[in-house]
Amino acid sequence: MSPVDLIWTLIGFFLTLLVFSYIFGDNPVFRLVSYIFVGVIAGYGVILVFYQVLLPRLFFPLLSGSLDQKLLAGVGLILSLLLLTKLFPRLSNLGNISMAYLVGAGAAVAIGGALIGTLFGQTLGTFSLFDFQLGASQGRNPFIQILEGLIILVGIITTLAYFHFGTMNTPGQDPKRLPIIESLGRVGQGFIAITLGALFAGVFSASIAALIDRLGFILNVLSNVFPKIF
């Protein structure tokens, strides 16, 4: 191991031990590591934005781009400068233009991604489970394919029913959902619980894997530094 690699390995070793100090509660050394982590992430983000966003999409087009590229970069520069006015209370209203553009573009991207990538994709994926010709070409058992398709279809319908908040108003009674919607919603609640449990299990297993990796790193460093003991 080269001296540089050894130095970085020891730094990682001591930082890992300082993170594990949180076992004994919040303490100054753990907060120090947290500040270092946030600072490194912030610095990395700034460098990434500068070299992958500002240089290729703003500075280079303004300096050596075509007329269309200069106009597009100029609009982005103006919107960025207007957004900086949010730092000054007297000029903050000028930044509303940039904020409106960011919110509108972000909402459009989010809605488009939800519709095309999630809703349409989920619908097509559900229908494909009932395509027996496709299943036969993939060597799937028709019974298993039908069972999977029905489970997914029931899960989608009942989960959507759970989030259906329409009620019928009966004079003299509290608003209630239709009985069939209420029943479907209860089944959907079970699917939601299973989904959340699976997600939690995935996060927990990933955390355990990270913990095992760090413990293995510590043992590896100790075995290299103190070979006679470890």
Are residues 94 and 85 in contact, defined by beta-carbon separation less than 8 angstroms? yes
Taking each helix axis from N to C end, the angle separating 121-128 and 142-162, rounded to the nearest 10 degrees, works out to: 150
Give residue 168's pLDDT.
Answer: 61
Tell me the C-alpha distance between 17 and 139, whole Å: 51
**Residue 174: pLDDT over 70:** no
**Residue 226: pLDDT over 90:** no
Name the least confident of 16-20, 64-68, 107-111, 173-177. 173-177
- Residue 116's pLDDT band (cuts 50, 70, 90): confident
Give residue 177's pLDDT.
Answer: 74
73-107 per-position pLDDT tens digit? 898 889 888 988 988 888 888 889 999 999 999 99
- Of 37-41, 127-131, 166-170, 173-177, which one has max mean pLDDT? 37-41
Tell me the C-alpha distance between 6 and 2, whole Å: 6
Specify the length of the chain in residues. 230
Residue carrying the six token digits 């990434």: 48
**Geometric angle at alpha carbon 10, from 215 and 5, rounded to 5°:** 110
Average pLDDT over residues 61-66: 86
Tell me the C-alpha distance between 59 and 61, whole Å: 6
Taking each helix axis from N to C end, the angle separating 96-112 and 67-84, rounded to the nearest 10 degrees, works out to: 110
128-166 per-position pLDDT tens digit? 777 777 667 777 777 887 888 888 888 888 988 888 876
DSSP reduced 3-state for 94:
helix
**Secondary structure element (H or E) that encloses residue 44, with its range:** helix 28-49
Share of residues in the chain with pLDDT > 90 (%): 23
Residue from 66, 98, 105, 64 nearest 84 by CA = 98
Tell me the C-alpha distance between 206 and 170, whole Å: 50
Average pLDDT over residues 184-189: 90
